[in-house]
Amino acid sequence: MGQLQRRNSELVDLLSADFINCWEPIEQSVLTEAFAAVTFKDIPQIFRSLVLLGQIRSDRVAELDGIIARFNDDNGDNYSYVEAAFYCNDEIHTNCAGYGARTSRIRAGKFDAASSISNTYTPFHWNLPGYLRTDRTKWLESLQSGPVGNLGTGADMQIVLNRGFWEVLEPITSITVFPEIGPNFVRGCILELYGVL
């Protein structure tokens, strides 16, 4: 005999049969030309969390570029982040900003640039839990893995973990994504924003 389950609007019900299907598309951006940044504006304030994912590449003359996030057009020193990269040649690198000397953005991963293998667009996946809560800072969690670069060395196969937060209590109403060096995302990049019910 089945059991009736109801979604609790305040808590995530992991046993709910429709839990895995509760992403609602908000906006998709498919670049038909080079752009310096992609901004998702007027984000609905009705979800528990946001998910931003896609495949990107920049026109920087190098193998790699960094992916940067800002919220609500805030370019003040209100952000901190940490990055750990694990490479197939047994190297581990870290990159951090914060600890009292905050920065003006979150570095939220690495991705392919102009000297990488042709036609590769690095996938990325960000989680932004509690983006509309006014009682806490806003966190961005990112995970990437696989080939990044020209695959000339073991350092081009990597797993990259990023965490960053925006030390502001207002809800996130817009997200701007841009290359760290760039100057542009190239044609063919795809960025998709979802709300988690």
In the predicted structure, residue 36 carries a pLDDT above the cut 90? yes
Give the residue carrying structure tokens 């598309």: 25
- Let me know how long the chain is: 197
Q: Helices marked H in 54-145 — which ranges?
A: none
- The angle subtended at Cα 161 by Cα 145 and Cα 158, nearest 5°, is 35
Write the pLDDT tens digit of every residue in 39-91. Answer: 999 999 999 999 999 999 999 999 999 999 999 999 999 999 999 988 888 88
User: In the prediction, which pLDDT does 102 show?
Assistant: 87
User: In the prediction, which pLDDT does 5 show?
Assistant: 43
CATH number, span 38-196: 2.60.120
**N-terminal to C-terminal alpha carbon distance within the chain:** 27
- The mean predicted confidence, pLDDT, of the chain is 88
User: In the prediction, which pLDDT does 56 show?
Assistant: 95
Question: How many CB atoms neighbour CB 124 within 10 A?
Answer: 22
Which pTM value belongs to this model? Answer: 0.86
Q: 98 or 19: whose pLDDT is higher?
A: 98
Mode of pairing for the β-strands spanning 92-97 and 79-87:
antiparallel
- 53 Cβ contact partners less than 8 Å away, ≥ 6 residues apart: 123, 124, 125, 126, 191, 192, 194
In the predicted structure, residue 6 carries a pLDDT above the cut 70? no
